[in-house]
Structure 1
Amino acid sequence: MTEPEVAPVIEVHDLGVRFRRNRRGRRSIKSMFADSSRRMPKGEFWALRDVSFTVQPGESIGVVGRNGQGKSTLLKLVAGVLLPDEGGVRVNAGVAPLIELTGGFVGDLTVRENVHLTAGLHGMSKARVAARYDEIVAFAELEEFQDTAYKHLSNGMKVRLAFSVVSQLDEPILLVDEVLAVGDRAFRAKCYKRIDELLAEGRTLFFVSHSEKDLLRFCTRGLYIREHRLVLDAPIGEVIERYNADNPS
């Protein structure tokens, strides 16, 4: 008997997104409607163009490329933080975004209040937050700071708290953008172990990193972004080899 075909959890087709070279970032809605031609308006550039791929449930994908080529932009498009100008992104499961970790926290609220607020904004029920609260705070090593205002935490404490909250989400897709490059060695080891546990549960990983060691540890497949386009979709070792050949040290 033929097994039923499994639908991809991420589908990207002919994806393109463009930005302005100024502080305003994306174009205004007014300018988007005003520009009915295919010409590139002055001061704009393509951050990504003609990108297509699919991701199956349980795959571990590493995104490779030099700085400024669109890797983090791609993660934000998958997360739904940005909208494409061309093509589309279809995500058929919930995402746990480990990107821009400290975003969304409120400085004047305490650690305790921020855990409940941020986890709730990510869709975790009040009962589930309450059940996991002690584990979240313990993982972040902030038991003694639960009633401290978030703005008074060190940068390292903020990162630990953010990773701890988001890594407790039950979403099938984990989006990770360089977060393992922060924090001290002991906390990074805890992060590695936590990601290993999530992958063992069958989660799908979409991982941006410059660390060959991390990419080879967590990923089996790679996407190489060069000059804002996808130039190679292959096993992670082959992608890293091609990247190093294109960018000799």
Structure 2
Amino acid sequence: MSVPMISATNLGIRFRRSKSRRRSFKDLFAGRTRRSRPGEFWAFRNLNFTVHAGEAIGVVGRNGQGKSTLLKLVAGVILPDEGGVEVAAGVAPLIEITGGFVNDLSVRDNVYLTAGLHGMTKAEINARYDEIIDFAEIRDFVDTPYKHLSSGMKVRIAFSVIAQLDEPIMLVDEVLAVGDKAFREKCYRRIDEMLRGGRTLFFVSHNERDLRRFCTRGLYLDKGALQMDGPIGEVLDRYNADYITPKS
């Protein structure tokens, strides 16, 4: 078996439904795990799984079941309330298209800023700048403020930057659903190349065809827990049986 790249142990995270919150005097003296917290809910608890180098994992589940939250935990964007997740190598996150981009800066300046925030040196960005811009098909807009780009153009430049990172782990949320079909296929071919090069992929999508194309293994999140961890086809069949296939 290859080297573990991501290891989750008893992983859990909770959120608050509203800003208002009441707690009793007794609640203040209760242990952390036993406190009742009105207005809060667990997105999921007790998640345990390991991802090895070169695996392509599809995260499956309905809206609101914590799929994107799980990617953010792996990326280190948010911290868990219980357990932990260990990541053995750097990640290239394509989670939120606005992450790291500044509205009032030009596309050119945003390329340098965002790539730099992800660890690329100025010399590396200089060497790859033309490839980033050409892949995004956005050369006529390099001096345009980022805020004036369409959603599809923002996805183009974001993916182009992230795809240039050399990090072993790539996190992809559903942002590629935005934009035209031709560019989406171009991105998918790039993902195929990275997988052939041994990258590890964590992929969130509601598109079953895309999940079957890229992923060999699936994690099925539902009702605050990991319901199934197995081959992607079997995981999708289980999910479809639970929610998609009409009950007779």
Instruction: Answer whether TM exceeds 0.5 for this pair.
Output: yes
Aligned residue for 1:41, secondary structure, equals coil
Runs (4+) of structure 1 exceeding 4 A deviation are: 31-35
Q: Is 1:105 aligned to residue 101 of structure 2? A: yes
Could you tell me how far apart the structure 2 residues matched to 1:223 and 1:58 are? Answer: 16
Q: CA RMSD in A?
A: 1.9
Could you tell me how far apart the structure 2 residues matched to 1:94 and 1:17 are? Answer: 22
How many angstroms does 1:145 deviate by?
1.0
How many angstroms does 1:84 deviate by?
0.5
After TM superposition, the structure 1 = structure 2 runs for residues 123-142 of structure 1, keeping only pairs within 5 Å, are 123-142=119-138
How many angstroms does 1:37 deviate by?
5.3
Q: How many aligned positions are there? A: 239
Could you tell me how far apart the structure 2 residues matched to 1:138 and 1:199 are? Answer: 22
Q: Is 1:74 aligned to residue 79 of structure 2? A: no
Could you report, residue by residue, the CA deviation over 1:191-228 in whole angstroms, capped at 9, with x for unpaired residues?
A: 11110111111000001111110000000001000112
How many angstroms does 1:149 deviate by?
1.2
Q: Is 1:42 aligned to residue 38 of structure 2? A: yes
Aligned residue for 1:62, secondary structure, equals strand
Counterpart selection for 2:139 from 128, 137, 143: 143
Structure 1 counterpart of 2:58: 62
Structure 2 counterpart of 1:27: none
Could you report, residue by residue, the CA deviation over 1:132-183 in whole angstroms, capped at 9, with x for unpaired residues?
A: 0001011111111111111121221111111111111110000011122111
Task: Give the structure-1-normalised TM-score.
Answer: 0.92
Change beyond 3 A, Cα 1:33–1:215 = farther
Q: Is 1:19 aligned to residue 25 of structure 2? A: no
Structure 2 counterpart of 1:28: none
Aligned residue for 1:135, secondary structure, equals helix
Counterpart amino acid of 1:214?
A: D
How many angstroms does 1:107 deviate by?
1.1
Task: Give the structure-2-normalised TM-score.
Answer: 0.92
Could you tell me how far apart the structure 2 residues matched to 1:189 and 1:32 are? Answer: 53
Could you tell me how far apart the structure 2 residues matched to 1:32 and 1:96 are? Answer: 40
Could you tell me how far apart the structure 2 residues matched to 1:179 and 1:223 are? Answer: 19
Aligned residue for 2:126, secondary structure, equals helix
How many angstroms does 1:241 deviate by?
0.3
Could you tell me how far apart the structure 1 residues matched to 2:228 and 2:168 are? Answer: 25
Counterpart selection for 2:203 from 200, 204, 207: 207
Q: Is 1:233 aligned to residue 229 of structure 2? A: yes
Could you tell me how far apart the structure 2 residues matched to 1:36 and 1:245 are? Answer: 37
Could you tell me how far apart the structure 2 residues matched to 1:94 and 1:68 are? Answer: 27
Structure 2 counterpart of 1:167: 163
Aligned residue for 1:9, secondary structure, equals strand
* Unaligned stretches of 5+ residues in structure 1: 25-30
Structure 2 counterpart of 1:88: 84
Counterpart selection for 2:214 from 215, 218, 222: 218
